[in-house]
Structure 1
């Protein structure tokens, strides 16, 4: 299991200092999630895994600035807000911060205010000229110019005015930017836009594939239900009306399949009726013999079998709704219960007719 650690870094876009999970850092870039304040605080403290789809920002990593304790990292970050030396325990020369990250009342172990994501600040020609001069001077042995990130842009320009003129002779106060600055800004904007579009396209693609899968499944089911095949033709071994409990058990096993269940619902719905009881009577008369009906009651009372738990009972209820015969489920259940109760009367009536 990877150990958690936090690193104190400087966001170059707005010169803010923060202790962030070390696994959010890749090279000189930091991936920063776009989350609400409370969730962002939890993500930092829990050292959540990095997601490369997050927006990225340029950073500077302080020397010896990685810690395995978040409270200690935050304490060092507070020192870095006032001084460029993380190892300093005493207050040195205070430098102006561009953005206040945490309130002065927060403690080392608990923080109620979370830093806002760094905001990208447009560079002008003076900024780029100064950074260019800094890069060139790093190659010199004796004349290396140290650029303190906590000193404002204006102060640095005043100190290195001569060097700027040597590097960028075309820079003057009337120009807002030069072509190099504009090209870099446009390039950064283009890359960021491309990354955002890729993330959006990926999400859309996943949604489309899910919809296509559902559409394919529904299409296959519709082909079955549109009378291309019927329940009776698919299961010719089932002979209605059912005469034994074993035959009912076979039908129950078949109706466990969703497609077969819907097929029988469609077949029963076609039977129709003048009212709910008439519909139930027509369906059950073709489905069960009266001798089988005598063995069942709706709830299985008086030693009889429970009809309400059978799949065929659910099929009849759904068929009544599909045919717009029943106002609600209860009406269909009452009609089935009544038909089962009258099984004895139907048997006596049949016997009297024979005599």
Structure 2
């Protein structure tokens, strides 16, 4: 088997973007933006430290006030957001790296007290997830969301378009549409969250429509070659239940394929790769495989077999700002501290030591 360094170190072309290697920093929520959702100099330092990754995909970034789910997460829909993200993208580019901003609408996975307008969450249908949301006053039950009207669905598609344009103004090399983990795009996909009776609900073709319209709008705005999308087939996060993944996701991939997107990221859990291989066969562009919790050897095997064109790492990149250099040198790796994952200051964020330190 190849060594991690020899497999990861090959350059790659992803849409319009040239990558120095095939290692992708997975999007990770860190809850360290301002209360207004503006990235800070500390955020710029964090991402800039990790610029040797082939590609950085940012933490989930709300596309609108309605799109915010959690506290202290960044936005990308105001001039202040753009200016904050410009600090981040400049830091990554100074280090020779590339960064896509992940566009996210949390949908029903939210609480009014976490948003700038304090309104009821929105969703495809008024079905609340059986879950709690961390807020400034502790964990609170997520309330029932308000179902979006058909006109509001179209407006939300435009929100993604506007946010994508803002991301490019902020200096991002591209964007990733978050289509998983129980957030709005996946809420439309899932029959457990989507009980609509218009053209966005019911059949598989109707339920994939929102995701395809979002991807189409973003690709039209900034170029398909700077647009990626993430899916999480069958992962029961944030109250999502999917009992038709073998029909739903091949249909979604077939509908997305003609758009010519830069990449598709698939989050894969477990050892059953049957659906992943079906997706690989149907997808002609770059496939990013995100194996949550897998060891490096498994990720190397995905690259060597051709199942993946790029592979992601999460906590390894979080704890090792110089992960690429460490793998190249065969050096020991830092362990991540889960107590500092969400919120806080520089501790567990920008203070992980490099080899030189």
TM-score band w.r.t. shorter chain: under 0.3
**TM-score, normalization by structure 2:** 0.23
Q: Return the structure number with greater relative CO, CA threshold 8 A, min gap 6.
A: 2
Larger radius of gyration: 1
**TM-score, normalization by structure 1:** 0.23
